[in-house]
Amino acid sequence: LCSTMSTGLSVYRNKTTISNFASAGAFTGALFRMHLGLQGLAGGFVFGTAFGIPAGGLVIIMQKLAGETLAEKRNRERRELYEQKLAEWQSRLNVTEVLGQTESNAQGGPETETARES
């Protein structure tokens, strides 16, 4: 639940920050301690925040050491997919243009030959 929430916040905000992990930890901690009443809710909130901050810092440091953050990877993959679809679309457009030229040449071919003979 914590990972899902922090990932969702990162995607929504389009950046990965410590506050995403702190918020996710606080929400998850409060949710799991909610059955103990208001004191349990507050304790879970504090406990989740206290563990979310170092866990988030560790994840961010590991991403920086890997050379590419998840947001950068997502943007790169999105750009590559767009470029691939654009190239595919352009190749289909070229095939359509070639077919159109071939069709017009086939229809206009005999007329031009008969016009040349006259």
Domains of the chain, residue spans: 12-66, 68-105
SS3 14: coil
The average confidence (pLDDT) of the chain is 83
Segments of the chain assigned E as strands: none
Which residue's structure tokens are 């349990």?
A: 40
Instruction: Report whether pLDDT(112) > 60.
Output: no
Please count the residues of the chain.
118
**Angle between the N-to-C axes of helices 38-66 and 18-33, in degrees from 0 to 180, rounded to the nearest 10:** 150
Binning pLDDT at 50, 70 and 90, where does residue 83 land? very high
The alpha helices in 1-37, defined as continuous H runs, are: 2-13, 18-33
For the segment 27-61, what is each residue's pLDDT rounded down to a tens digit?
999 988 888 888 888 999 999 999 999 998 998 89
Overall pTM surpassing 0.75 (yes/no): no
Binning pLDDT at 50, 70 and 90, where does residue 85 land? very high
